[in-house]
Chain A
Amino acid sequence: MPSLRDVRSRIRSVQNIQKITNAMQVVAATKLRKAQQAVRATRPYAEKMLEVLETTAQRATEYRHPYLEKREGDSVLVILVTSDKGLAGALNSNTIRAVVRYVNQHHKGQARYVTLGRKGRDFLARYRRDIVADASGLKDRPGIAAILPAVAAAMEEYNEGRVDTILLAYARWVSTLRQEATVRTLLPFDIPDREEGAAPGADYIYEPEPEEVLDALLPRYVETQVYQAVLENQASFYSAQMVAMQNATKAAGDFIQDLTLTANKVRQETITAELMDIVGGAEALRASGR
């Protein structure tokens, strides 16, 4: 049986933990809202970009940009987006597991990696994987400039033919309670065909030629995709952290309740034992006095 003092100090320490997890939950909720706003802010640009890309690609049908050309080989580079910090449940391990499974299934041989986020980088470094570039320690709502060097390094690997495919892996935000580990092909890029019956694309005057405009558009589009993934991953991270902290706060509450019951039991038992002693003593006195 633990002593009453031990149980009480245990209760206090669990209460302190509960205060922290509760505060983290509130902070995560606020940051989640901001991260969602950031994701929404990128949409107009990305949508317009895709629209212009579709129209331009239709005009430049003869031209095959390397980003649109499927290659024979199956060497692969993965742009792995994870969070920098933990305490967010299985978020990052789910993404990493999805990447490992995907690469093993579809690509023989060693994959190369560009990491955006400390968790993914540290995991890969521990297993001695080939990390080409890293941009970790991104702040909340980073500017696109923060990720450009890493994306440029990935595109260079592709341009020089060292890899035939670039994959993008991150935790897609579905809802506050659901984040989905996602692995998808970034390059080569499939320009979706215009829907049947949709208005034909505008017949622009191109300055310079459509081919050159396409040359400028495609890398921008790739950068935008990665940037969106980073922002969405942040939203997923704060969602996951919020839920994890909510669970932790609840678990701490249950634990405090259990410990309080134990403390009361210990206290009662002590009192009972003391009473028994007194009664026993009194009985013995009375017996000897007679």
Chain B
Amino acid sequence: MAVPLRVVSVERSLFEGEVDGQGRPFLVCLGAEGELGILPRHAPLLTTLRPGPMLIRNGSEETELFVGGGFLEVLPDRVTVLADVAERAEEISEEAAEEARRRAQERLAGQLSPEEEAEMIHILETAEARLRLSRIRRGRPG
């Protein structure tokens, strides 16, 4: 069963089309409460997303995206992802991610207010998720 899926970030649309997982989840992503796989006829759901890779499956074709957080809305007839800063996996620069992670760790080593710390942890999670994804794509273990 094919389901219309749309992944949009504020800057542009990242994916739009009918997807059919053929028995397997057509969308796998990292929700607020853990990893989520969405199958057709999923109950209506609205969840926040954590930074991480997102897998879109259409038949045998698989598309990987990276989302830096956002929201997932599942409706009976369509699924929408509002992605924070989503980039196609090919566009992720490993150096930029490494650099961001290094900066965040330096900041974490010093004294921080709780808000700053939460922000830093978020940056760190984002950088690590990016690194993981670009390594998966290159076929070497993290």
Contacts and interface: CB of A to CB of B under 8 A. Distances in A.
Contact of B10 (A203, A212, A224): A224
A48 B82 contact: yes
B138 interface: no
A205 B80 contact: no
Contact of B46 (A42, A44, A207): A207
A202 B82 contact: no
A204 B47 CA distance: 9
A44 B45 contact: no
Given A205-B44, A208-B33, A212-B48, A44 B71 contact: no
Contacts of A52: 46, 71, 73, 82
B10 A205 contact: no
Nearest to A52: B73
Interface of B: 6, 8-13, 31-33, 43-48, 71, 73, 75-76, 80, 82, 84-85
8 contacts: A49-B82, A205-B46, A207-B32, A207-B33, A207-B45, A213-B47, A223-B10, A227-B10
Contact of A41 (B11, B32, B45, B71): B11
B6 A44 contact: yes
Contacts of B75: 202
Chain A interface, DSSP helix/strand/loop, else mixed: helix
A46 B8 CA distance: 10
Contact of A213 (B10, B13, B71): B71
Contacts, number: 69
* Main secondary structure on B side of the interface with A: strand
Size category of the binding interface on chain A? 20 to 34
A204 B9 CA distance: 22
A45 B10 contact: yes
Given A205-B44, A207-B45, A208-B33, A42 B11 contact: yes
Interface centre among B11, B32, B43, B84 (most CB of A within 10 A): B11
A143 B82 contact: no
A206 interface: yes
Given A213-B71, A227-B10, A205 B43 contact: yes
A144 interface: yes
Contacts of B43: 205
